[in-house]
Structure 1
């Protein structure tokens, strides 16, 4: 046990030294376009760690576990199950390393989408669309199109092939003891223990990603308890081995996330010359409101009656130079899985291709990946010149984009909220940050 804790501490210290934390998501990411974890060092090459540090780390984990036990029991976990499942558990160094790591370079959205919509993935999805006899029944029951479900399946686990082999109980205990997302991790650990206690699944069956997302459609333990379904009728909600249960469970999750049957997810649009880009990520209005401002569907087709009645928000994932979309409510339902614009676009665009759709009218611009230091420098610069982007963590989220749009307006630039390498250079120059 001491050696395992030494490896844990080495990786923890290294991860904290070189990276900033990920933003917390509604659904922690399955291993998709992320860096591969580093292999822990072997005992023969593990640097010597002072015993006092090892003892401190051991004491911290044990103190958390002792503190957590009465709270878990108060939440409904029996003392017997708690003691049986957590006795002898040690933190997983790979989990802590992955949680603390942020990619050094941020992949441009166009490159991300290109990786999502590969020819092989499209071919597999179209084949499964025809092969899986239960898809029409799931679609009829939940109102979620089969192509959306196939896209989720493809993105989350490569159609069930890459589900993750982490022990979910140990992963959640590791994240909870580490403390960065303690309340969330403890809640998921309690949910996992309740699954085991119910007898529905064993500890050995609860395998998933490093962040606790399980099975073919990567459900967190709490999501599994609340939304997983037994669609094939065998008496078990099997999101690991049953394709039907997995996709029906995904449909149920999307419905609970606000999915509207009979409505699209988004449409690519063309913006007129002189358009006010500051409207991006702003008002959600029916398509007719946007048409009054010169916005037109890129395919030239009229809106369906169902879509025409929905509030839609403009998104410019690659800025003014890239494709524009009017996002319908189902775009935001997709973000129940992963609260990321790029992720939801990937799901929707891949689903469109499964259904026979073609590529976008406006191509993605060729962009240089931004380094972590550049992203952080841009946030620091925005704060220095009077626009609050939130913490300088290198995560270009809604707050940073809002601050960037306000700064762009002050500079009489297209206020698209897109952080390009040119915007980074302009911000650093104005804020007096040297390269």
Structure 2
């Protein structure tokens, strides 16, 4: 997980599970981890048939030759490759139901996972050195490791070369997939890893910290000093590589990632996902840290933006710069919250002060209906694709303000019902 250039993918299928889709960092072009959402490419051929796949493959080989790969390498690794229909299906699948962010976070922070992470933070002797070298706290790295591969146990079993070929031939994100396929072939050609090692998620994320092939080439490091950048078998290399990716993604040493806050009565919720101001600016509006503690000097001097992952009814956070650095790994609010909150628990922190609301998962049909309703009512959310991203939330806030509702931009089942009723959608 690649919009920013330093994208690594999270367990490839690990898309944003919250209905509150990611906001893009203002400090860099957005780039989620995982297959980067690229503009849809023309689809002259598909991976649905051998003839079309072979036609794409022949054309790709010419492009790969021009990129410096040898004919012998291409023939050895690609001759006989067939499209994987499961990969193509997973790439085009829109979840029928979206998991509420509170349920997602509860799934991330289990007692067992916290216990394992706390044990590893005390026993992995290389962690202090990695922390010192890259400036990324060990607890954040352990949280990434836990989320990406269950501490290295679940790395994926898809053939990355075949997956990338399947996605490229399918055509929806051809440019991106061909780039990752070329990167995978370069890894094999370099001798750093064999084709058999290049196993990962359906979307091409590899190893214990789920790097895309391009991220491996540019960002993986040999931290254990054995001469190999081994993100599959070396805990040390894996976590140091993740630290390097976060550092390249803008991680600021000594600065926090976010703090839970309490909002005053009558607060203007439309400020969510809006201005990035230092904490004292927010305090002047009545915003207070939920734990009652003072800000560190570094945090007090850092711009922070308000996020309401579950709307006005759920916990509120002031997101500091490192929240957005986490999202270079996976550009999802839910993912970044999961990483940060899990890291806090590894460090001995307690649960949130506010509770997550009990919610009903929204169906794809309801999400699309809400977008259609907003459009009919004159509030443009973008395409009615069921993806509740920044455009939909902005349109929803405008509609909520127009209706004198708390303008938190959060699409709950109640908001869906109100929108459908006003727009006359049955």
Per the TM superposition, whether the score is higher than 0.5 is yes
Matching of residue 59 in structure 1 with residue 64 in structure 2: no
Larger fraction in helix: 1
CA distance, structure 1, for counterparts of residue 332 and residue 361 of structure 2: 18
Question: Shift of the alpha carbon at 1:78?
Answer: 1.8
Q: Superposed, which structure 2 residues align to 1:254-273 within 5 Å?
A: 254-273=246-265
2:184 corresponds in structure 1 to: 192
Q: Does the residue aligned with 2:318 lie in a helix, a strand or coil?
A: strand
CA distance, structure 2, for counterparts of residue 93 and residue 335 of structure 1: 29
CA distance, structure 2, for counterparts of residue 66 and residue 302 of structure 1: 62
Q: Which moved more, 1:64-73 or 1:307-316?
A: 64-73
Q: Does the residue aligned with 2:260 lie in a helix, a strand or coil?
A: strand
Question: Shift of the alpha carbon at 1:76?
Answer: 2.0
CA distance, structure 1, for counterparts of residue 60 and residue 3 of structure 2: 21
8 A Cα contact 1:91 1:173, kept in partner: yes
Matching of residue 356 in structure 1 with residue 337 in structure 2: no
Question: Shift of the alpha carbon at 1:331?
Answer: 0.3
Matching of residue 122 in structure 1 with residue 114 in structure 2: yes
Matching of residue 111 in structure 1 with residue 103 in structure 2: yes
8 A Cα contact 1:322 1:363, kept in partner: yes
Q: 1:337 to 1:360 in 2, by over 3 A?
A: same
Matching of residue 145 in structure 1 with residue 137 in structure 2: yes
Aligned residues: 395
Matching of residue 416 in structure 1 with residue 397 in structure 2: no
8 A Cα contact 1:32 1:155, kept in partner: no
Question: Shift of the alpha carbon at 1:34?
Answer: 7.6
Matching of residue 309 in structure 1 with residue 309 in structure 2: no
CA displacement 1:312-348 (0-9 Å, x = unmatched): 1100000001000000110000001110000000000
Q: Superposed, which structure 2 residues align to 1:239-318 within 5 Å?
A: 239-318=231-310
CA displacement 1:252-281 (0-9 Å, x = unmatched): 000000000001000000111111111101
Higher-Rg member (1/2): 1
CA displacement 1:129-148 (0-9 Å, x = unmatched): 11111111110111100000
Matching of residue 30 in structure 1 with residue 11 in structure 2: yes
Q: Does the residue aligned with 2:312 lie in a helix, a strand or coil?
A: coil
Q: Which moved more, 1:57-66 or 1:107-116?
A: 57-66
Q: 1:233 to 1:54 in 2, by over 3 A?
A: closer
1:14 corresponds in structure 2 to: none
8 A Cα contact 2:246 2:325, kept in partner: yes
Q: Which has the higher contact order (CA 8 A, sep 6+)?
A: 2
Displaced runs of 4 or more, over 6 A: 32-35, 53-56
Question: Shift of the alpha carbon at 1:55?
Answer: 11
Matching of residue 77 in structure 1 with residue 76 in structure 2: no
Question: Shift of the alpha carbon at 1:201?
Answer: 1.1
Q: Which moved more, 1:377-386 or 1:343-352?
A: 377-386
> What TM-score, normalized to structure 2?
0.90
Question: Shift of the alpha carbon at 1:33?
Answer: 6.2
8 A Cα contact 2:12 2:204, kept in partner: no
Unaligned runs of 5+ in 2: 17-44
Question: Shift of the alpha carbon at 1:370?
Answer: 0.4
